[in-house]
Chains A and B, each alone.
Chain A
Amino acid sequence: MKKKLIAAPYLLWMVIFILVPLVMVGYFAFTDENGNFTLDYVANVAQYSQIFVRSIWLALIATVICLIIAYPLAYILIGMNKNAQGTMLMIVMLPMWMNFLLRTYAWMTLLGNNGLINSLLQTIGLGPYKMLNTEGAVVLGMVYNYLPFMILPLYSVMVKIDKSVLEAAADLGCNPRKTMLRVVFPLSLPGVFSGITMVFVPAISTFIISRMLGGGGNLLIGDLIEMQFLGTAYNVNLGAAISLVLMVIVLLMMTIMNQFDVDDDVILM
């Protein structure tokens, strides 16, 4: 009985600083400046459907690219011996420990019209190409920043696949390619799904990457929200409404991913 009481300070904290703020987002989304109930702002979100579509689209592309890059990488990693695996994983994850603003800034300096890539291209008579302030640059920034979030879950699921199961597949007639297709891939699906979630959620809600690499022309949901709270377009109610919609999209996405994941603990056994 006494033991439960020890959680009381946290429970209080949780209610005030996690629950109440979320309720306030909902409250502001459904009221106007005077505190009267209205559906206007939630309905107004539809005006920005173009931005929503762009955000979802770019986040989706970035997620797919991350998956394509990370999957073979994780597969190569688990083929190494244990010590090399640890070192390699550390090297791959190391850039993640640098602040993402600095990492994004690095690409800003590389991609600019006067940047390193363009000046290198010029020496062989190409370019300059407009690379900064494009959708491509935004996707690149997302991939660069969130790639480790895809590698880690893939690796940790693959590394748990029992080696004897792979041997069993070979024993039953699978060459390495068939083993990959029939055994490794289905068993790594939980990692694929959690990797997709871990990349898609920050990618769809980012506002810095789009601003630094996408210029003003490639606004995403995150930028839209930020503008309503701290920017020129100050409108807390609209901002709350957009946030609410974003939250719903993310929760929907996670529910879908969890559907695929039902067998999770069975597979991880």
Chain B
Amino acid sequence: MSILITLNDIVVSFDGEKILDHIDLDIHDKEFVTLLGPSGCGKTTTLRIIGGFITPDSGTVTFDGKKINQLPPYKRNVNTVFQRYALFPHLNVYENIAFGLRVKKLPEKEISKRVQEMLKLVGLVGFEKRSTARLSGGQQQRVAIARALAIHPKVLLLDEPLGALDLKLRKEMQIELKRIQEQLEITFIYVTHDQEEALTMSDRVVVMNGGKIQQIGSPVDIYNEPVNAFVADFIGESNILSGLMIRDKLVEIGGRQFECVDTGFGENTPVDVVIRPEDIKLVKPEDAQISGVVESVIFKGVHYEMLIDAYDFRWIVHSTQAAEKGSAVGLTFVPYDIHIMHKMPKEEYPLRGIEPASEPEDTEEAK
């Protein structure tokens, strides 16, 4: 796959505050890339730089090998699906989708043909005459996508497009978007704070925090091999413990030594140790190195989530079998499931859990 867009050493600040801190990113042709991170991490700003709505303070943006830093949005072969759709309230569904085609002064026949194609693509045939105000959130979403795709962009930018939809509709649209992307064979750059959404849809995920890129990789890589505690915690729930790397393949947690598979951290180095809740097995206390007391048990649908108090740490454990609250249990995990990471500065730790779905991000970033 060839490289389509390159961001090279991009810096953006507003009011003296660095929003993007030396970002480097390559985006390939025809891939589905997701920019993932908590609100204020700079993901929307990155998207707006590609769209042409923000000019970076320094660094270069190249598109198809040409520098496009100063190119205004209306000259870029890139289209955006806006956070709250930004449909034109004075135009009906048909005219909204036809908007970009009319600006290009295409013949009426061609416009009509393309709009029909788009309506079919997003499943809104028969809605041509509807006023956009009389559409549901999901339908408005589809119009916004059709409108952006109608002028055949090489790249579609999507800024938290599903944020305002309810859970069920969101799941449907995720599948739908993936289908459209595969059918049209164009590049999608997708911004979200929902890690599950990112993992389901993307070819590659770019995890961002504090204006910096934390990790770039396939969903599987990011989930299985997070590079630091932030990524580990942001991508799914994690137990993050302080540890001491004794030497290669041996780590000390809570005064006990565990075998692990990581190397190259040096000797007696403080590290973060990440263990996924689903990688921990519950056994009888006497069969395990770590034992603790079950503090709470919550049924989550497919599994139980248990909090277990052991070694002054509250472990999260996911299991299909519930232990009894208050009972003593043992925790085991295999060396392969112990992930060792460089220690992060305290302030870069994420808050546990993911922010609410519909929170708009631009309030902090776009000012």
Give A contacts to B, CB under 8 Å: 162, 164-165, 167-175, 178, 182-183, 186-187, 189, 263, 266-267, 269
Is A165's CB under 8 angstroms from B131's CB? no
Select B82's contact among A164, A189, A267, beta carbons within 8 Å: A164
In B67-121, which residues have CB < 8 Å from any A CB? Answer: 72-74, 78-80, 82-84, 86-90, 99-100, 102-104
In the bound complex, residues from chain B placing their C-beta under 8 Å from that of A267 are 89-90
Select B80's contact among A171, A182, A186, beta carbons within 8 Å: A171
Tell me what chain B mostly uses at the interface: helix, strand, loop, or mixed: mixed
Tell me what chain A mostly uses at the interface: helix, strand, loop, or mixed: helix
Output the least CB separation between A188 and chain B (Å).
Answer: 10
Return the 8 tightest CB-CB contacts between A and B, nearest first: A172-B100, A164-B86, A168-B86, A170-B73, A173-B103, A186-B90, A266-B133, A171-B80
Output the least CB separation between B186 and chain A (Å).
Answer: 15
A175 to B148, CA, bound (A): 16
- Size class of the B contact interface (CB-based, 8 Å): 20 to 34
B51 near A: Cβ within 8 Å? yes
Output the least CB separation between A220 and chain B (Å).
Answer: 37
Is B83's CB under 8 angstroms from A173's CB? no
B204 near A: Cβ within 8 Å? no
Is A172's CB under 8 angstroms from B86's CB? no
Is A266's CB under 8 angstroms from B72's CB? no
A167 to B86, CA, bound (A): 8
B151 near A: Cβ within 8 Å? yes
Is B90's CB under 8 angstroms from A168's CB? no
Is B100's CB under 8 angstroms from A173's CB? yes
A97 to B100, CA, bound (A): 45
Output the least CB separation between B150 and chain A (Å).
Answer: 9
A164 to B147, CA, bound (A): 14
Select B74's contact among A162, A164, A170, A266, beta carbons within 8 Å: A170
Is B72's CB under 8 angstroms from A170's CB? yes
The 28 sampled A-B contact pairs (Cβ below 8 Å) are A162-B84, A162-B86, A164-B82, A164-B83, A164-B84, A165-B87, A165-B88, A165-B89, A169-B99, A171-B78, A171-B80, A171-B148, A172-B100, A172-B151, A173-B74, A173-B104, A173-B151, A174-B74, A174-B103, A175-B72, A178-B103, A182-B99, A182-B102, A183-B88, A186-B90, A189-B90, A266-B89, A267-B89
